[in-house]
Amino acid sequence: MNKYKALIGLEMHCQISNTNSKVFSSAKNGYSEDANVYVQGVDMGFPGTLPVVNKEAVKKALMMSMMLNCTQPEYLYFERKNYYYPDLPKGYQITQDTKPSPIGIGGEVEYFFEKEVKRAKIDNIHLEEDTALQSHLPECSLLDYNRSGIPLLELVTAPAFHSSDEAVAFLETIRSMYQYAGISEADPKKGQVRCDVNVSIMDADADEENPDNWGTKVEIKGVNSFGTVKAVIDCEIARQIELKENGTYDEMEQQTRRYDEETNSTKFMRSKQDAIDYRYFVEPNIPRIKIDKEWLEDIRKEIPRLRNARMKTYIEEYGIKPIDADTLTKEKSTSDYFESIISNGVKPVDAANWMNTIILGSINKLSITINEFFIKPETIAELIKMTYSGKISKNQAKNALYEAVDTNKNPLDIISESGIEQMQNDDELLDIINKILDANPSQVDDYLNKGLSNIINYFLGQVMKETKGKANPAHAMELLKQEIEKRK
């Protein structure tokens, strides 16, 4: 690899999942296991139906365009991309061409890679409609039009990356932006994120700013998870290096390939000469739409704090370890949960500790998302605050939470049912302590007169045993010391 370096460009398709309806129809924008339940005529290309632009989708697209530091257009145009395919019911996709201007053009994004801040140039981002979903069975192929017409953003980067890890770090950043801005769940499991990858290699010492030095571009289409993006890039770089080494690289045409998982290799699909001519032209059913400056300003104000900003706060203001901050912000829902605990009066470091130990562990164990976790952040906050006031110990709190997860109960109920709180009644506790002290005169003597101060732990053990663990150990210790001193 040292003789060569790779140039990698990405096309990332991400559904806008957070609109009520589809981008050009009033059908519900949703994910369903049942086929063909979210469908209007236009989603199936029925004769005479017409597209109507969803303003909310445009708004979210413009927000993403801003977050990528792209330029937004003065007028919005849509184009038709014409080709025949069974998943494309109209025979064309309504999309945007780079001319006259898509929803965003010429941006730049910062992302972290190996503790460094990197910048990637964005060529453009455009708003389009998703296609229907095909499933191929031995005897037939099935079409599910639920997906047809879901708003889709296609982000195209410059050839900005040099390794598969760098590319994936960038994709993770973009994914978090979609999630944090409330534009998309960006869930690859629901097929909401799909990538095409462009790979070429060039001599390591050549200047990559000069496109003349670039190698032959190979596009690998339809890569549906970030893990696969990494595998695809790695095996394609290896393939191209091998061509260089055996002297056949120059014969390679610009081409489109696909990834074959079984052999972990890319397979030839078509050469550039056979590329489809999409015969783009302006969509005549959608008049150009003026984008108001004031509207843009309003949208800009609505951009929420993104992952990088949150991580910075967690590390610099809250004193949370970078590795923990990274975990806490990986999913927006996790970060929101964490911040909700804090806003209910818990110290950030404590909240982070609870998150990274019990809470994330529990949801992993249950294989659910944090939004599906039945214990709400307010409850967690109450639990932690009880340890602040000394009503219960940290261990008691954590044990209650573990039990709650196992039994599907509210941890606060577990605390109150177990009576731990009732041991707050000092009279009862004092009574128990004095009985124990009375029963163990020689140990009291050891403590008071022979300097065996560790023996106090023996007494505490007795107290906890006697109270069946309901006493708050810290508080019990305090009372123990007080009572034993009285016997001096």
Element housing 136 (H / E): strand 133-136
Cα-only R_g, the chain: 31
Q: How far apart are CA 173 and CA 68, in angstroms?
A: 11
Which span sits near other proteins by CB under 8 A: 81-89, 315-323, 451-459, 467-475? 81-89
Closest approach of other proteins to the CB of residue 81, in Å: 10
Does 138 interact with other proteins (rule: CB under 8 A)? no
Q: Give the one residue of 75, 268, 281, 374 binding other proteins; rule: CB under 8 A.
A: 281
Report the residue number, 84 or 451, with the smaller CB distance to other proteins: 84
- Spatial CB neighbours of 217, under 8 Å, sequence gap ≥ 6: 9, 198, 199, 200, 254
Q: With residue 126 as reference, give the H or E element that holds it.
A: strand 116-129
Q: Using the CB atoms, write b or e for 256-269: b if 16+ within 10 Å.
A: bbebeeeeeebeee
Options 20, 32, 91, 305; binder of other proteins; rule CB under 8 A: 91
Q: Which residue has the tokens 């951009």?
A: 303
Q: How near is the Cβ of 61 to other proteins at its closest, in Å?
A: 17
Among the listed residues 106, 287, 361, 390, the single contact to other proteins using CB under 8 A: 287
The span from the CA of 460 to the CA of 154, in Å, is 64
CB 131, min distance to other proteins, A: 13
Of residues 142-171, which lie at the interface with other proteins (CB under 8 A)? 143
Nearer to other proteins, 142 or 366 (CB): 142
- Decide if 387 contacts 393 (C-beta within 8 A): yes
> Residue 386: enclosing H or E segment and its boundaries?
helix 377-388
Asked if 141 touches other proteins (CB under 8 A), the answer is yes
Joined together, the tokens standing for residue 352 give 């982070």
Q: Does 461 contact other proteins by CB under 8 A? A: no
Q: 12-51 mask for other proteins (x: CB under 8 A)?
A: -----------------------------x--xxxxxxxx
Phi-psi domain of 184 (left: phi exceeds 0; alpha: psi -120 through 50; beta: other): beta
Which of 116, 262, 277, 294 is in the footprint of other proteins by CB under 8 A?
277
**Residue from the set 286, 363, 370, 415 that interacts with other proteins by CB under 8 A:** 286
Measured from the CB atom, the residue of 80 and 194 that comes closer to other proteins is: 80
**Could you list the residues that contact other proteins (CB under 8 A)?**
41, 44-53, 80, 82, 84-86, 89-92, 141, 143, 277, 279-281, 284-287
